[in-house]
Amino acid sequence: MLFGVLRRILRALIALPRPLRRMLAGPPVRQDGQTLDLDVQVVLRTLGLIAGGEEPSLVEQRRATDRAAGLAWSATPGVTTLPVRLPVPAGPGRDEPGELVARLYTPAEIGDRDAPLLVHFHGGGFALGSIASSEPLCRVLANQASVRVLSVEYRLAPENPFPAGLADAAAALHHVLTHRDEFRATTVAAGGDSAGANLALTAAHQLARHRDETAAFVLALYPVTDAGRVGGSRELFGEGFGLRTADIEVFERYYLPDGIEPIRPTGLLEVGDLAIMPPCYVSTAGFDPLRDEGEELVAALRDVDVPVVARRFPGLIHGYAGMAGVVPAARDAVLDAASALRAGLALTTKEAAAM
């Protein structure tokens, strides 16, 4: 089914009176002291009815992930795009220097003047997603936060397992930080959702540890932070809420084919120098298998006095940014992130100017 048609169907269903939506969705889903958002339940029920019985191949999943961007948001007027190539040095899985494909989003109100910039990494379990799948979110963040957004295409697993994607993310962030005049960037943030949030967080941490500077702010939506974890939210919400624990395990095997140990040096819940992290915005979803590890990261950051804005959206599921075009609660959550990004970058810009 074309995702444009599906989007119209879902919007029509969610526009129905609440009693009819409840009939379509079934009884309320309550778990762990939370109630699943009714509109999310309608979407899950509808997608479940039209889904095929066979597990799609990785190629099919990648194609569907890009096409599903149509569910994420309506067209965002007044945001221009520009293709960009970022030079990267030789590194893991890269014998010679190369380039990363990227896309720069600029809201009309900024035009050619200097402004904050967000370096964004898409989600998709380190194996799915692209700058195409993340375009709606990047457009909204650019428009609502009044920032430029540079969306970066990093290498995907299983063809390029850890640490290839992280090396690309760190190289992209470092390039922007050391060439900020080329991007008219007054300050630079890193951000992403899910796996992309992991890359933003870990790249910012690596640069803070090994370079002279790092991102001024990190925007992390429902991040993965602890490979190989069992129990807790991964068990409570492991089936029936979009992302399944079984899916996470597959993605982890793609990303970490030699086991989970390689990720430990960059697993932020275990590092001893977490205090070097910049201020962060971390969001979690109540019915997300990754909820607990995201919230444990918040607690760990606060324990070492890193400023953190933390949000849990109790009725939402993993990947809610991809539902923002049809689910009002998901739209509000994305707008909350944009507001936090705007405020966080405004504060860091003022602090930098005062130094």
- E strand residue ranges, the chain: 30-31, 34-35, 79-88, 98-107, 115-121, 148-152, 185-193, 217-221, 280-285, 308-313
d(CA 205, CA 266): 8
d(CA 70, CA 6): 9
- 288 has catalytic annotation: yes
d(CA 286, CA 112): 40
d(CA 192, CA 339): 15
The DSSP secondary-structure symbol of 133 reads T
- 194 has catalytic annotation: yes
Show the tokens assigned to 278. 């910049």
Query: How many CB atoms are closer than 10 A to CB 273?
Result: 10
Catalytic residue among 194, 233, 283, 292: 194
Catalytic residue among 122, 175, 205, 318: 318
- 120 has catalytic annotation: no
Residue entry with tokens 């993340």: 134
- Residues paired with 31 in a beta bridge: 34
Catalytic residue among 37, 66, 193, 288: 288
d(CA 103, CA 259): 33
Burial of 343 (0-12, 13-18, 19+ CB in 10 A): middle
Residues with a known catalytic role: 194, 288, 318
